[in-house]
Amino acid sequence: MSDFIQKVISNKLKTSLISYHSIAGGCINNAFQVKTDSGDYFLKWNKSPLLDMFRVEKKGLAILNAHSPVHSPSVISFGEMGGKSYLITEWINKGSQNDQFWENFGRNLALQHQVTMDQFGLDHDNFIGSLPQSNKQHQSWYSFFINERLKPQMNMASSKGLIDTNIQKKFDLLFQQFEELIPDEPPALLHGDLWSGNFMINSEGEASIFDPAVHFGHRETELAFTQLFGGFSPKFYHYYNEQYPLEPGFDERIDLHNLYPLLVHVNLFGSSYLSGIVQTLKKFT
């Protein structure tokens, strides 16, 4: 491992390695803090066949850095070497939240969500966790959400024997109602995988977001996912709504939006996440 890190640092960053240590928390990649003569960096690596996962992560971070007021790490280098693929970004030093942390985070995410385009999706596919995520573009949010989000995950879960035909039939009934249940919104620039594990407080006391699954989608899906596993203060939603008010009834739609991340978790971690899906389907069908 030390030989690989040494070669990446010397060949790609043209600097000398001082030390490195493993970072816990990720369930997909190997992650390290790397100290060098030119400063600290974040390095993660995996097997060479997963190079495309890092390629699209680089693209996603570049999009966020170009268009979002919320901080994301800059990509320093990515590629493959010695049978391993890797991504190197700037190192983010941890800090303590300042008094305006949740206000700034909420308002800045609202400003990010006001960045729009004429279609839902993106000009390239990416990943949600380690699973492929199709971003084929659609004019309609309902069409995009059904065909590029829910159906691929349903098909994957079905092929693994994790959901049965009864659940699939209930999804089909729900699909017929989406246009009435979810209000029209312009496509919004989304981080795409925003939960408490994918942001941190940096040394300036502000939020830094990382590990994106960027696309243009319905902004309510982003806000719904932030509530799935907790970790966001009520102040965050208050100031978001001040900056970019949500349509009435958002709280009643949260479970609909979270069908996608719950299906992702079923496919990644098993049937323990299925109960939330069943409850939502029972509620709306």
Strands (E) in 11-72, as ranges, are 17-22, 30-36, 39-47
The band of 243, judged by pLDDT with boundaries at 50, 70 and 90, is: very high
Percent above pLDDT 90 for the chain = 91
Residues 141 and 143: their CA atoms lie apart, in Å, by 5
The band of 27, judged by pLDDT with boundaries at 50, 70 and 90, is: low
Please say if the pLDDT value at position 24 is more than 90. no
Please say if the pLDDT value at position 26 is more than 70. no
Neighbour count for residue 168 (Cβ, 10 Å) = 14
Percent above pLDDT 70 for the chain = 99
b/e 38-58 (16+ beta carbons within 10 angstroms → b): eeebbbbbbeeebbebbbbbb
Answer yes or no: 211 catalytic: no
Please say if the pLDDT value at position 166 is more than 80. yes
The band of 82, judged by pLDDT with boundaries at 50, 70 and 90, is: confident
Point out which residues pair with 133 in neighbouring strands: 126
Express each pLDDT in 215-231 by its tens digit: 999 999 999 999 999 88
User: Can you list the domains of the chain with their CATH numbers?
Assistant: 2-90 (3.30.200.20), 101-284 (3.90.1200.10)
Express each pLDDT in 41-60 by its tens digit: 999 999 988 899 999 999 99
Spell out the alpha helix ranges (H) of 160-273.
Answer: 165-175, 178-181, 219-228, 234-243, 250-257, 259-269
Measuring CA to CA, how many Å separate 247 from each of 67, 175, 253?
24, 21, 10
pTM of the entire predicted model: 0.95
pLDDT at 1: 59
The band of 160, judged by pLDDT with boundaries at 50, 70 and 90, is: very high
Please say if the pLDDT value at position 25 is more than 70. no
Higher pLDDT, 231 or 180: 180
Q: Catalytic pick from 40, 125, 164, 193?
A: 193
Express each pLDDT in 91-105 by its tens digit: 999 999 999 999 999
The band of 12, judged by pLDDT with boundaries at 50, 70 and 90, is: confident
